[in-house]
Structure 1
Amino acid sequence: MTFTWKIPPWERFEDCKYLTVMLTDAGAGQFRFTSEGVRGDDPIEALADLLMTPGSLLGLMPSYPALIGVVVRRGIDSTWIAEPPIQVDRDDRGRWQVAIAEADLPDVTVFTPSEISGLVSRLQSQYGRTH
C-alpha cells in the first residue's frame, strides 16, 4: 500500500486541522473519550497522525479490545474537546453504535475498530512501528 502524501502527517510542521475523539469501553455500559488535535488533509490522514504520534496506544497495539471507535472532525472546536456531541450505545446484539448528535456536520467521520486496525497494519507495513 502506498500513501499519496509527500510528507506523512505525523512528520509535518503545521497547525492541526482536525479533531479526533477516541472512544473506549469503560465497562458497565459506559464509555470514555479522549480528544486531541491532529494534522492532515483528510480524515484518513488525521487518523494516521493520531496512530503514528509517539506514544499512541492505537499505533502500538494491533488489537485494542476496549476500543469502540475514533471520530474525526474537520476543524478544532473547544466544545468538542471538552464534551463532544457523541452518543454511544449498544445495539440489541451488544455491539457498540456511535452517533453524532449534530447531524448537520458534513465533516465528521467515524472509524470502526476494524478500519483502524487495518490502517495501523498498512502504516506499520510501510513505515514500521510508531516512533
Structure 2
Amino acid sequence: MTFSWKIPPWERFEDCKYVTVTLTDAGAGQFECISEAVRGDDAIEALADLVMSPRSPLGFISSHPALIGVVVRRGIDVAWLAKPPVEVGRNDRGKWQISIAEADLPDVSVFDVTEIAGLVSRLRSQYGQNG
C-alpha cells in the first residue's frame, strides 16, 4: 500500500487546515468528544495526521474499544474546537450513528471505526508502529 503524499502529514511543518472531532462512548448512552486541529491536504490526510501523531488519542486503535468515530472538517473553526455541532445516537439496531447539526457544510467527512481501523492498518504496514 502506498500513499500519494511526498511527506506524511504528521511529519510536516505547516499550519493545520482541518479540525477533527474524536467521539468515544462514555457509557449510559452518552458520548465524549475531543477536538483538535490537524494537518493535511484532504480528509484522509487529516485523519492520518490524527492517528499517527504522538499526541493522538487513537495511536493504538485496538486499545480504544469505546471509539465511535471521527468527524473531519476542513478549515479551522474555533467554535468547532470548543463545542463541535456533532450529534451521536443509536439507531434501531443499537449501532452508533453520527450526524452534524450543520448539515449544509460541504467539507465535513465522518469516519466510522471500520474505516479508521483500515487506515491505521495501512499506515502501520507502510510506516511502522510510530510512523
* TM-score, with length taken from structure 1: 0.96
Question: 1:65-87, CA deviations, whole angstroms, 9 ceiling, x for partnerless residues?
Answer: 10000000000101111111111
Task: List gaps (5 residues or longer) in structure 2.
Answer: none
Q: CA RMSD in A?
A: 1.1
The aligned residue for residue 23 of structure 2 is 23
Q: Percent identity?
A: 73
- 1:61-76 paired onto structure 2 within 5 Å: 61-62=61-62, 64-76=64-76
Question: Once the 2 structures are TM-superposed, how far is the Cα of residue 24 of structure 1 from its aligned partner?
Answer: 0.2
Q: Give the secondary structure class of the aligned counterpart of 2:51.
A: helix
User: CA–CA distance in 2 between the matches of 1:99 and 1:117?
Assistant: 20
Instruction: Kindly indicate whether residue 97 of structure 2 is the aligned counterpart of residue 97 of structure 1.
Output: yes
Question: Once the 2 structures are TM-superposed, how far is the Cα of residue 63 of structure 1 from its aligned partner?
Answer: 5.5
The 1:119/1:44 distance shift into structure 2, 3 A limit, reads same
Task: List gaps (5 residues or longer) in structure 1.
Answer: none
Question: Once the 2 structures are TM-superposed, how far is the Cα of residue 14 of structure 1 from its aligned partner?
Answer: 0.2
Segments of 4+ in structure 1 off by > 3 A? Answer: none
Question: Once the 2 structures are TM-superposed, how far is the Cα of residue 98 of structure 1 from its aligned partner?
Answer: 0.3
Please say if residues 62 and 120 of structure 1, whose CA atoms lie closer than 8 Å, have aligned partners that are also in contact.
no
Instruction: Kindly indicate whether residue 87 of structure 2 is the aligned counterpart of residue 87 of structure 1.
Output: yes
The aligned residue for residue 6 of structure 2 is 6
User: CA–CA distance in 2 between the matches of 1:12 and 1:49?
Assistant: 9
What letter matches 2:89 in structure 1? D
Instruction: Kindly indicate whether residue 103 of structure 2 is the aligned counterpart of residue 109 of structure 1.
Output: no
What letter matches 1:59 in structure 2? G
Q: Give the secondary structure class of the aligned counterpart of 2:59.
A: helix
Question: Once the 2 structures are TM-superposed, how far is the Cα of residue 92 of structure 1 from its aligned partner?
Answer: 0.9
